[in-house]
Amino acid sequence: MLSTCIIPPRGYNALMKYMDDKNKNIVIRRLKLIEGQVRGLQKMVENDTYCIDIITQTSAVKQGLSNVEDLLLENHLGHCVHHQMKSGQVARAREEIVKVYKLKRK
């Protein structure tokens, strides 16, 4: 049985479920779209497509990744950090919020 989210010191813990199935499916679907865009970019370069058209597509890929990042951060705050606060680990939750803030500023 999968446990609720407990923030690991670093990395993935196979026993924990960090994202509900609905959000996971949304993220996976978006990543597959991005994968298709990147493959399209490769073909554009191979076919000597006009540079501005390639740059336009790279911007779309960056925006797609930014949207995925937003979903992941929202999930982290709404699920993992919320769980930490409910379980009385306010200092740890605060640290995670600061990490999210710093990651988003990069």
Judged on CB neighbours under 10 Å (0-12, 13-18, 19+), 44 is middle
User: Domain span at residue 53?
Assistant: 21-105
What is this structure's pTM?
Answer: 0.74
For 53-89, the pLDDT digits (tens) are 999 999 999 999 999 999 998 888 888 888 888 888 8
Residue 25 and residue 98 in contact, taking contact as beta carbons nearer than 8 Å: no
More confident residue, 2 or 33: 33
What is the total count of domains within the chain?
1
Quote the CA–CA distance of 3 and 19 in Å, as a whole number. Answer: 11
Residue 65 and residue 82 in contact, taking contact as beta carbons nearer than 8 Å: no
In a domain, 4, yes or no: no
In a domain, 60, yes or no: yes
- Least confident among 10-24, 35-49, 53-67, 77-91: 10-24
User: Where residue 36 sits, what CATH number does that domain have?
Assistant: 1.20.58.1000
Confidence of residue 96 (pLDDT cuts 50, 70, 90): confident
In a domain, 16, yes or no: no
In a domain, 64, yes or no: yes
In a domain, 43, yes or no: yes
